[in-house]
Structure formats: structure tokens, C-alpha cells
Amino acid sequence: MSDPDSAAPSVRKRQELKLFLFICVLLFPILAVAVVGSYGFAVWIYQMIAGPPGPPG
């Protein structure tokens, strides 16, 4: 087994840069869309059950 701390500094720096780009470019945007979409879906389902917001008509 290789210890990640024993890697050369340039290799470790490259790995950290790749991980940072993966998190910023893919992971966080996907999570943001998933969270906002889930919230919107939950509100939509709630309004199907409880009715639209506002005073009763």
C-alpha cells in the first residue's frame, strides 16, 4: 500500500488540483441542482395535497 503523504509534492499538488476542480466544476453544481430541485418537488407535492397557498376562495 502506498501512503498518499509519501507522494512527491508535485504529484500531490496535481492530485489536489484535480480534486479541487472536480469539486468546483462537477460536484457542487450537481448538488446545488439536486437540492433546489428536491425542494421544488417537495413544495409541489405538498401543494398537491394541501392546496395552493393563499386565503380560501
Is residue 30 assigned to a domain? yes
Q: Is residue 53 a contact partner of residue 47, using CB atoms and an 8 Å limit? A: yes
pLDDT of residue 40: 97
The three grid cell numbers given for residue 13, joined into one nine-digit string: 499538488
| C-alpha triplet 14, 24, 26: angle, nearest 5° | 100
Into how many domains does the chain fold?
1
- At 3 the pLDDT is 66
pLDDT digits (tens, 9 = 90+) for 7-50: 688 999 999 999 999 999 999 999 999 999 999 999 999 999 99
User: Would you give the DSSP letter of residue 55?
Assistant: S
Question: Which amino acid, residue 20?
Answer: F
Report yes or no on 19 lying in a domain. Answer: yes
- The answer to whether residue 25 is domain-embedded is yes
Q: Is residue 46 part of a domain?
A: yes
Residue 27 structural domain? 12-50
Domain assignment present for 56: no
Q: Please tell me the distance from the alpha carbon of residue 37 to that of residue 14, in angstroms, as a whole number.
A: 33
| Position 1 in a domain | no
